[in-house]
Amino acid sequence: MSAAASAALIGHVTDSPSRVIDADLADRFTALTARERDVVLSIAEGHDNDSIAAELFVSPFTVKTHASRAMAKVGARDRAQLVAYAYQAGLIS
């Protein structure tokens, strides 16, 4: 998913009038490691694997691994759904 598409998705979701935190999703995010959480937040900001890797001083493959593990832990099928779940869980605003 491109950075522009991520930003558009986040903008659309955050423009909704009322926000309700999904407790079940929030609970799923507690299973993430600190690094997985960092990667999820960077993905939500619209960064790609290469820029996240440079920011965190790891390889792009490591970023992809953290993202894949985060998706598996929260039950997201792709990065777009991961970002949407993070918003619904209250991880991002």
Per the CB < 8 A criterion, the answer to whether 41 and 92 are in contact is: yes
How many other C-beta atoms can be found within 10 angstroms of the C-beta atom of residue 19?
11
On whether residue 68 sits in a domain, the answer given is: yes
The pLDDT of residue 45:
92
Between residues 14 and 42, which one has the greater pLDDT? Answer: 42
In the numeric block, which tokens belong to residue 87? 């918003």
State CA 29 to chain mean position distance. Answer: 10
Residue 83: give its domain's CATH number: 3.40.50.2300
What is the percentage of the chain residues whose pLDDT exceeds 70? 81
| Burial label, 45 (beta-carbon count in 10 A; 0-12, 13-18, 19+) | middle
pLDDT in tens, 33-63: 999 999 999 999 999 999 999 999 999 999 9
Give how many domains the chain has, as a whole number.
Answer: 1
On whether residue 28 sits in a domain, the answer given is: yes
The pLDDT of residue 93:
79
Q: Using the structure block, give the residue that is written with the tokens 């970023």.
A: 63
Domain that holds residue 20: 3-88
Residue 13, pLDDT above cutoff 90: no
Residue 2, pLDDT above cutoff 90: no
Between residues 91 and 17, which one has the greater pLDDT? Answer: 91
On whether residue 69 sits in a domain, the answer given is: yes
On whether residue 93 sits in a domain, the answer given is: no
How many other C-beta atoms can be found within 10 angstroms of the C-beta atom of residue 89?
20
* Mean pLDDT value across the chain: 88
Query: Which pTM was predicted?
Result: 0.79
